[in-house]
Amino acid sequence: MTSMDPYIEDSALIGERQAAARALMARPLLTDRSDPADLALVRAHAEWLIQRFQRVLGYRLTVADDHARLHKRGAGARLPEPFRRAGGARFTPRTHTHLALLLAVLVEPHGDTTVQDLAGSVREAAREAGVDADPARGAGERRAFGAALRHLVGLGAVSEVSGAVADHVADPSAEVVLRPHTMAVRSVAAHLPRPGEDPATFLAEADESDPDGDQAGETALRRMLAEDAAVFREDLTDRQRDRLAAHQWRAAAALRNLLGCETEIRAEGVALVMPDEASGAPGFPAQDPVARVALDLVVHLSGRCSPGRPATSVPVPERELQAALGSLTGAGTPQRTEWERTAGPEVPDPDRMPVLVTDLLRRWGLLRGGPGERRLTAAAARYGAETDTRVPLIQDNDEDGGEREGERDQW
């Protein structure tokens, strides 16, 4: 019997390690309830991952029997992915309040418990903390409590043993039995504020994007490249821009070794490109309805607005943007009708879809600014440029279209 080619064996080993690292970057808390396959991969390569995350990004990784937690640092100045309800709506401050109260209650060991008993514990914790919150006080409060609890279920920190949290949201008398997983619950919040610390101070201390010192600065640079969809040179401080120019190739090599990604380095900035098979990564483009509309919008706006040399972004007329969003996301569009006939992901309602689409593009560095001041970044051009025939023509924006035809060969 001939032995396996060592090169092929090593390649497979490296591929497994990088896939595990990508899974942790995409979902910093993995549990055996939510991500059993990825957790098994992380556990198999725990020693390599612990050492490499610390060396490359300065992130601490803890691996336990039923979960793994990557403790990220230094992203305080950038926009994190917001928590959302099942339908896509962002968590409200009330929902965040219930999430914090649930974590406060569940950090102590619990056996199986009913949702009503847990709601009672949350109400008592709120009273002791001087917080006005009661899961039993009306349907709105119950929905906020239910959304927070379903978030923990989705993370694998709580299991639904009998019934579902959604049953309780619809009917407060529904019997639902839950099983908290204490160690995973304790890992949900990675960095807790100190007593008496105000929000501004907490966020300022969490921001390590431009530290003093060459070594800390290079680590911060690698974090920025790993966490941001695209890093534009014009957004950086002078010191960050100098560091990027000096260390971008070395940072690209370190991140390729850890994540198996490629790095695109352009005059405008730097972007990481993950392998197509990166399972579960919240990448763009993706196949859920919001991401598919966002991709159509980017391609259309690139065709209409032509992000090109030498600017890193071009203005997007508000009328153009709203016309495109209406045509791509409105009620009765063929695309929406097709999605609603399938059993795929929930399709957000037409009123909420435009906000979700523009939020996604903003988080991925493709669209900037607010109403009336939107700009399409050069990185959008990498997805192509084609005017969508479903979008009505805005005559005001076509007068100089011919002059821009040669300016699209960017990012």
Give the pLDDT of residue 309.
53
Contact 43, 299 (CB under 8 A): no
pLDDT score at 403:
40
Interatomic CA distance for residues 334 and 236, integer angstroms: 42
Of 118-132, 158-172, 223-237, the poorest mean pLDDT is in 223-237
Question: Is domain 93-186 annotated with CATH 1.10.10?
Answer: yes
Peptide bond connecting 195 to the previous residue in cis, omega within 30 degrees of 0: no
**What pLDDT was estimated at residue 346?**
66
pLDDT one-digit tens code per residue, 320-346:
898 888 888 776 666 666 666 664 556
| 3 state SS of 271 | strand
Q: What is the pLDDT of residue 274?
A: 83
Phi, psi of 31 (to 5 degrees): -125, 165
CB atoms within 10 A of CB 43: 17
- Percentage with pLDDT > 90 across the chain: 42
* Contact predicate 175/114, CB 8 Å: yes
Please provide the distance, in angstroms rounded to a whole number, between the alpha carbons at the two ends of the chain. 50
* Strand 29-31 to 67-71 pairing: antiparallel
Where is pLDDT greater, at 404 or 143? Answer: 143
Q: For residue 107, give the 3-state DSSP assignment.
A: coil
| Range scoring the smallest mean pLDDT among 8-17, 277-286, 396-405 | 396-405
Q: pTM for this one? A: 0.80
Per-position b or e across 333-362, b if 16+ CB within 10 A of its CB? bebbeebeeeeeeebbeeeebbbbbbbbbe
Cβ proximity of 259 and 266 under 8 Å: no
Angle at the Cα of 62 (from 57 to 65), degrees rounded to 5? 150
Domain range annotation of the chain? 6-71, 93-186, 208-273, 289-407
Round to whole Å and give the CA distance between 376 and 380: 7
Integer Cα distance of 290 and 285 in angstroms: 10
**Dist CA 295 CA 286 (whole Å):** 8
Measured CA to CA, the distance from residue 313 to residue 304 in angstroms comes to 13
At residue 343, the pLDDT reads: 47
User: With 70 as the cut, is the pLDDT of residue 130 above it?
Assistant: yes
Which pLDDT band, with edges at 50, 70 and 90, does 311 fall under?
Answer: low
Residue 245, judged by CB atoms within 10 A of its CB (0-12, 13-18, 19+), counts as exposed
When pLDDT is cut at 50, 70 and 90, the band that residue 113 belongs to is very high
Region for 384 from its dihedrals, namely left if φ exceeds 0, alpha if ψ lies in -120 to 50, beta otherwise:
left
Q: What is the pLDDT of residues 275-300, one digit of tens each?
A: 864 444 456 677 778 888 888 898 88
Q: Say yes or no to pLDDT of 410 above 70.
A: no
Nearest by Cα to 367 from 379, 383, 385: 379
179 phi and psi angles, rounded to 5 deg: -125, 105
pLDDT of residue 283: 60
138 compared with 397, residue with greater pLDDT: 138
Structure letter (DSSP) for residue 90: B
What is the b/e burial string over 114-142, where b = at least 16 CB atoms within 10 angstroms of the residue's CB?
bbbebbbbbbebbeeeebebbbeeeeebb
Yes or no: say if 385 and 308 are a contact pair by the CB < 8 Å rule: no
Instruction: Name the average pLDDT for the chain.
Output: 83
DSSP string, 236-267: S-HHHHHHHHHHHHHHHHHHHHHH--EEEE-S
Beta partners for residue 158, in sequence order: 180
3-state secondary structure of 32: coil
pLDDT, tens only, 240-261: 999 999 999 999 999 999 999 9
Give mean pLDDT, residues 14-41. Answer: 94
Neighbours of 167 (CB within 10 A): 17
> Per-residue pLDDT tens for 153-201?
999 999 999 999 999 999 988 989 999 999 999 999 888 777 878 888 8
